[in-house]
């Protein structure tokens, strides 16, 4: 059977068909559709596959490891910067190993379409010493996912699949295979496997190091890595992941004259690289993201710049690859990119019409005229657009949860007013711990939680904070007299300014919850939120 699917959807379908019992994830572009596909899958619902959103990537990966501990197959999904949040458990579960198959999907974002940086997750996979897969197209996204679970159980290791934005968000017809049944609960025969106290962790780490030769051999013989012969040995090409597709778009009927080593599985198959290196006068490396392979093989063999790519300036060092810049590296004319008509004017991103953040920024900017030393520390979410014109209300934007902790540090340094703005979902993701720091020292900061009751930036997924913010803040220790709720509407602008002004003047931790649902939410969803809000008040 064939289905027309996004790369993300093909991967999700592959996971369902392999027999997963759960997916744990936090939404983040370009990875979000993987979990949403499973959430909306009728088959996944019939199979009772767990698919609720987690509070953040770390909790998602830890829960996935718990399901694997029980012997079941499980998927955990995040974008590249989310792996930084989950790095602690990621590195340690490579040492403990897994029980049921566990696949970590990380979607990288070359060109930073919706991200703070371009980091390449293959470095994390290499760091953890686990196998990495990098699909070339949508069919491989499906096939590799099903194989990755089998390899995970064969090696008793987590497996990483690296996606990139263009593959995640482009669509093709793929062949769907047979669906496997889910694993039953079956615990590890080794009672110490998951006990990473030093006496057991040393043994586990030695085991991880000891099986590296098996992992390398698996990659050398991988069905997904291919050596393709070519008559013109003046140049050999290593093409990783989607870069292989970009390469072949430059030649009709797959008629590339150069020998090609297609890479979809790591560790890098060194024997095949050596074969290409010995056969060809020059090696062009095509890979989206960091010069990961180029650095490795330059270290393997190169003393005379035989290897060319992003490091040597033959390809763009930053940003995505595409068929056009690969054509240029091959010495062809750039023919793929269409010129943009003059009538098309660049348009920066902006908040939705009717968005509650707009009214909140109006209030903050009004207060800025009263407090010229006011500093506003922002966070990751739609409200980050408040750093752009016409609002320009936010001074910083670093990572999930940094608004509260940076406001605290600035306040400790003597800045007042020191204001943090954070969304409801980001608050439960990574803001709560920073708030606890501030509460312990009663630091004079005002935290504004802009509560639109959704993870709005990625498509309005459920927020773990919905209906719980007041009780969470009370539980952390915020004084109830300085825990205020406002409704960000234009007609309440003066009233809201008064509330925020009073809390700014308070010399301790204060919280203002600016509460109005995202305009993108359905009426049914808003009705549910009203009920939750009423329960919280009662």
pLDDT tens-digit series, residues 14-38? 999 999 999 999 999 999 999 999 9
Give residue-wise pLDDT tens across range 493-534. 999 999 999 999 999 999 999 999 999 898 888 888 777 777
Dig out the tokens for 258 from the structure.
Answer: 């150069």
CB 120 within 8 Å of CB 221: no
- Residue 4 has phi, psi (to 5 degrees) of -90, 110
Element (H, E) at 103: strand 102-108
DSSP string, 513-527: EEE---TTS-HHHHH
462: nearest Cα among 30, 164, 54: 54
If you search the block for the tokens 């060092």, which residue do you land on?
317
**Strand, coil or helix: what is 397?**
coil
Tens-digit pLDDT profile for the chain (538 aa)?
899 999 999 999 999 999 999 999 999 999 999 999 999 999 999 999 999 999 999 999 999 999 999 999 999 999 999 999 999 999 999 999 999 999 999 999 999 998 999 999 999 999 999 999 999 999 999 999 999 999 999 999 999 999 999 999 999 999 999 999 999 999 999 999 999 998 899 999 999 999 999 999 999 999 999 999 999 999 999 999 999 999 999 998 889 999 999 999 999 999 999 999 999 999 999 999 999 999 998 867 656 678 899 988 999 988 999 998 999 999 987 766 667 788 888 888 889 999 999 999 999 999 999 999 999 999 999 999 999 999 999 999 999 999 999 999 999 999 999 999 999 999 999 999 999 999 999 999 999 999 999 999 898 898 999 999 999 999 999 999 999 999 999 999 999 999 999 999 999 999 999 999 999 898 888 888 777 777 666 6
DSSP string, 462-516: PPTTTTTHHHHHHHHT--GGGEEEE---GGGHHHHHHHHHHHHHSSS-EEEEEE-
């Amino acid at each position: 059977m064939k289905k027309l699917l996004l790369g993300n959807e093909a991967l999700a379908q592959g996971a369902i068909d392999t027999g997963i019992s759960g997916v744990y994830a936090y939404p983040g572009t370009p990875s979000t559709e993987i979990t949403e596909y499973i959430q909306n899958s009728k088959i996944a619902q019939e199979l009772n596959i767990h698919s609720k959103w987690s509070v953040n990537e770390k909790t998602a990966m830890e829960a996935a490891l718990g399901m694997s501990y029980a012997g079941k197959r499980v998927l955990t999904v995040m974008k590249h910067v989310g792996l930084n949040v989950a790095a602690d458990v990621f590195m340690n579960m490579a040492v403990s190993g897994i029980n049921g198959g566990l696949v970590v999907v990380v979607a990288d974002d070359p060109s930073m379409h919706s991200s703070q940086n371009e980091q390449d997750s293959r470095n994390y996979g290499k760091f953890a010493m686990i196998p990495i897969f990098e699909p070339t197209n949508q069919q491989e996204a499906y096939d590799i996912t099903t194989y990755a679970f089998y390899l995970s159980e064969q090696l008793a290791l987590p497996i990483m699949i690296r996606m990139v934005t263009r593959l995640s968000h482009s669509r093709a017809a793929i062949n769907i295979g047979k669906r496997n049944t889910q694993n039953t609960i079956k615990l590890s025969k080794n009672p110490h496997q998951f006990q990473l106290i030093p006496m057991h962790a040393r043994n586990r780490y030695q085991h991880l190091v000891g099986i590296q030769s098996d992992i390398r051999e698996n990659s050398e013989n991988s069905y997904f890595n291919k050596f393709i012969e070519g008559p013109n040995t003046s140049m050999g090409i290593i093409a990783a992941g989607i870069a292989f597709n970009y390469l072949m778009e430059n030649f009709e009927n797959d008629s590339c004259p150069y020998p090609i080593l297609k890479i979809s599985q790591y560790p890098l198959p060194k024997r095949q690289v050596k074969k290409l290196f010995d056969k060809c006068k020059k090696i062009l490396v095509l890979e989206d993201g960091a010069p990961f392979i180029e650095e490795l093989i330059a270290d393997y063999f190169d003393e005379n710049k035989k290897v060319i790519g992003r490091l040597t300036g033959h390809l763009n060092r930053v940003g995505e690859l595409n068929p056009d810049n690969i054509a240029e590296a091959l010495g062809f004319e750039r023919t793929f990119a269409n010129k943009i008509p003059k009538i098309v004017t660049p348009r920066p991103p902006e908040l939705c019409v009717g968005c509650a953040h707009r009214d909140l920024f109006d209030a903050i900017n009004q207060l800025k005229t009263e407090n010229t030393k006011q500093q506003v520390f922002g966070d990751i979410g739609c409200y980050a657009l408040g750093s752009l014109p016409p609002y320009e209300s936010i001074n910083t934007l670093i990572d999930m949860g940094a608004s509260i902790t940076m406001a605290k540090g600035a306040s400790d340094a003597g800045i007042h007013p020191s204001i943090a703005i954070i969304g409801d979902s980001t608050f439960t993701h990574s803001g709560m711990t920073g708030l606890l720091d501030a509460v312990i020292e009663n630091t004079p900061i005002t935290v504004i939680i802009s509560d639109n009751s959704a993870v709005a930036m990625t498509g309005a997924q459920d927020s773990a904070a919905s209906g719980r913010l007041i009780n969470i803040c009370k539980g952390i220790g915020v004084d109830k007299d300085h825990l205020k709720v406002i409704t960000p509407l234009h007609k309440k602008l003066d009233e809201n300014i008064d509330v925020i002004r009073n809390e700014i003047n308070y010399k301790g931790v204060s919280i203002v919850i600016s509460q109005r649902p995202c305009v993108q939410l359905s009426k049914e969803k808003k009705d549910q939120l009203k009920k939750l809000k009423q329960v919280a008040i009662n």
